[in-house]
Chains A and B, each alone.
Chain A
Amino acid sequence: MSEPSKPQGRKFQLPEHLKVYKDVWVIVEQERGIVHSVSLELLGEARKLADKLGVEVGAVVLGAEGPDLNRICADSFSYGADIVYKVTDPVLSDYRTDPYCRVMTDVVNAYKPEIVLLGATTLGRDLAGAIATTLATGLTADCTELDIYMDNRSLAATRPTFGGTLLCTIQTLAYRPQMATVRPRVMSMPERDDSRVGRIVEVFPQLREDDVVTKVLNFIADREQNEAQLAFADIIVAAGKGLGKPENLKLAFDLAKVLGAEVGVTRPLVQAGWTTFDRQVGQTGKTVRPKLYIAAGISGAIQHRVGMEKSDLILAINTDPNAPIFDFAHQGLVGDALTILPALTDAFSRRLSVNRLAG
C-alpha cells in the first residue's frame, strides 16, 4: 500500500464515467455446497453499506447448477441480498483460479458494482488478488472495519498492519470497483430473515473444460481428517507457554473435554512442536470468535490478541498480575494454570453433573 501522500481523500470527486458503478456486492463463497459463514457475515455488512449509499446488495453465487446452488441463492436473500447473480456452469463446480477469475471479471464489467467484498479465506484471497489485477483496481486485504465516507461515497477500509500494532484506513478513489477482503468472524452474523425475497439474474458463461489447464484430482475434506475445527468452536480453551512443558497441554484438553470445547494455542507452542498448526490462534493462525475463550498461561501479545479479541467472554489465567492479557480479557484470574486448570475441570464437571442428576 502506498504512503499517505494524497491526503485530500475526502475531497476527491469521482470522475463522471465511474459514476455508473452502483451497488455493493458480495462474492458468496461455497465449496461443495457449503457456504462459508464469512459470506453471510459480509451480506450483513454489505446491507449496512448499501443502505448508507442508497443502493442495492448483490450476491454473486458461482457453481454448477443444482439444488445446493438454489438453496444458497435463497439463503443469500435471507441474509440481506436484493439481487442474486447466479452464475452456473459445470466447469465452476470446484474452485479454480483461472475460470473463476475470467467469469468474475466479465460479470463485474457487465454489471458494474461500486464495491466488491470477499472473505479473507484461501479462496477469497486467491480470487481477489487475481481479479483486482484483471480489473486494474484497488484491493484492501484482511479488513476489520468497513465504512463509507459520504463526502464522496468512497469505501473506507480499515485493516491492521505491522502485525496489529497499527491500524490503517485505505481508500480506492479514482478506480472502480473498490474491493476488499474481510477476515472471518470479525463482522457479526446478521439475523436470518426468510421472508426476504429478491431478483435473480442468471448468467451462463459457457465455459469449456478443455480451456482450463488446472484439474482437480481429489478433494480431501477436513471432516475426514483429524483437523481441529477451531474457527467454529463455541468454547475454546487456549494454552500458552505458561504451561511450561508439552505434557501439561493435557490439562487444557481435559477441561476442553468437559466443556465440549476445542483447544487453541499460541504460536511458540506450535513452533516448539507441542501440537499442530491447525490449533494456532492469532495473526498467522486462525481468527476465532467463540462465546467463551479461556486463556491459560498466555501473555496476550498483539499477534495473539488480533486472533481472539472478538470473543464474547475472555477469561485469562496468568501468574503475572501485570500480564498484558488482563488489559483486554473480561475476567482475570491471577494464579498458576497448572493447578487452576484441573480445578476448573472439576468445578465445571461438578456443576454440569449436578444438573444432570437434577434433570
Chain B
Amino acid sequence: MHIVVCIKQVPDSAQIRIHPVTNTIMRQGVPAIINPFDLFSLEEALRIKDKVGARVTVLTMGPPMAETSLRKALSLGADDAVLLTDRKFAGSDTLATSYALTSAILKLSEEDPVDLVFCGKQTVDGDTAQVGPGIATRLGFQQLTYITKIEDLNLDAKEIVVQRRAEGGVQVLKTKLPCMITMLEGTNTIRFGKMDDMFRAARYPLKTWSKDTTGAEETKVGLKGSPTVVSKVFVPKPLAQKATMIEAEGGSPEALASAAVEAIFGAQPKLADDLLARAAAGL
C-alpha cells in the first residue's frame, strides 16, 4: 500500500497584512505553515498506515524553502518526501499545478504503485479546491472529495467505503482503489510527532526533483501551461458607511433593546410584517 499526500506550504493567512499605501501583500515576517486543510488528509493517511500498514510519501511543489513543510510532515510520521521545485514551475495555475504534481506521482508509481492520493480540501492562499480533482482526473483515479469518514478499507478486494459531505446530506460511497481523497476539515486532529520520527526527519535525505526529473512537458507547466491570468489585484472597497448607532435614554439594556427592535422593524418593514404574521398565527 503506497499513499501519497500532497501538501502545500502557505503563508499563515491570519498574519497577512496589506501595506496601507501600496496596497500590496506584506509577506515579510509572515510565517510559512503547512496548509491547515492538508493536515486532516495527512492524519487520515497516517491512520491508515497505523491500521493496515502503508508507506506514506509526502509531496509538495514549491520553492526550496518548502522543504521545512516536508520535514514537518516526516516528523509526524510520513516515510518519504519529495520536493518538486523548478523555476519553470513558477506562475503555475491549478491546471499546470495538477499536471506537475501528477507527473511526480507517476514517477513515484514506477517504483511503488500508488493506491491512494490524499489532497487537502483546498488551500488557504489559492483557495480553489481544484488541484485534487485535477490530479484525480489526470491519473484516472476515482475522485472522493469532502470525505468525513473512511468507513472501511479492504486491501484484498481493493475496496473502500467512505462518507462524503454532499449539499443536502451525506453520501455513503463504495469504490475501488486507486482513488484520490480530500478530507473535510474537523474530521480528525493531527497527532503530535514521536521523538524518533523528529530525529529522523531532521536528517532525512528527501528527494528534490526538477521538471526534467519527472519528465513534465515544458509547455504544460508554469505560465505557459496556465490558462488563467490574473488581470487585477485590489483591496475590497470599504463599505459605504459605518453603522448607525442605536442609543437610548439612560442606556439600560431594556431601553436599548426596545430601541433596537424599533430600528430593525423600521429598516425592514417586510420582515416585521412576516414576523408579526407568524406570531399572530401562533407559530
Contact = CB atoms under 8 A, between A and B. Distances in A.
B197 interface: no
A224 B168 CA distance: 10
B243 A316 contact: yes
Given A4-B229, A9-B231, A171-B231, A340 B143 contact: no
Given A162-B25, A347-B258, A141 B245 contact: no
B167 A36 contact: yes
Interface in A4-40: 4-7, 9-10, 29, 31-32, 34, 36
A170 B231 contact: yes
Given A2-B92, A356-B282, A331 B263 contact: yes
A217 B174 contact: yes
A32 to B, nearest CB: 7
Interface residues of A, number: 110
Interface stretch (B70-78, B123-131, B200-208): B123-131
Given A34-B168, A162-B125, A220-B170, A175 B264 contact: no
Interface residues of B, number: 90
A162, A165, A359: which has the most chain B beta carbons within 10 Å? A162
Interface string A129-164: 110111011111110000000000000100111111
Nearest to A221: B169
A166 B227 contact: no
A174 interface: yes
B260 interface: yes
B98 interface: yes
Interface stretch (B46-54, B58-66, B103-111, B273-281): B273-281
Given A129-B129, A339-B253, A359 B244 contact: no
A194 interface: no
Given A2-B229, A98-B142, A167-B233, A343 B175 contact: no
A32 B171 CA distance: 12
B236 A217 contact: no
A184 to B, nearest CB: 9
A272 interface: no
Contacts of B155: none
Contacts, number: 314
B229 A171 contact: yes
B125 to A, nearest CB: 6
Interface string B240-283: 00111110000101101110110111011011001110111011
Interface string A68-85: 000000000000000000
A234 B271 contact: yes
Contacts of A309: 239
Contacts of A352: 275-276, 279
Interface in A285-336: 291-292, 309, 312-316, 325-336
A227 to B, nearest CB: 9
Contact of A168 (B233, B268, B279): B233
Contacts of B271: 234-235, 291-292, 312-313
A107 interface: no
Given A160-B127, A335-B253, 9 more contacts: A31-B167, A97-B142, A128-B130, A132-B134, A162-B13, A170-B230, A214-B173, A225-B169, A346-B254
Which 7 pairs of residues, A with B, have the shortest CB-CB distance? Answer: A129-B133, A138-B227, A332-B243, A343-B257, A352-B279, A359-B280, A138-B228
28 contacts: A6-B229, A34-B168, A125-B145, A129-B132, A132-B95, A134-B137, A138-B228, A161-B125, A162-B25, A163-B14, A165-B18, A167-B236, A214-B174, A216-B173, A222-B170, A225-B169, A259-B275, A277-B185, A292-B271, A313-B268, A315-B246, A331-B246, A332-B246, A333-B246, A333-B256, A340-B253, A352-B276, A352-B279
Interface of B: 11, 13-14, 16, 18, 25, 90-95, 98, 124-134, 136-138, 142-146, 161, 164-176, 185-186, 223, 226-236, 238-239, 242-246, 251, 253-254, 256-258, 260-261, 263-265, 267-268, 270-271, 274-276, 278-280, 282-283
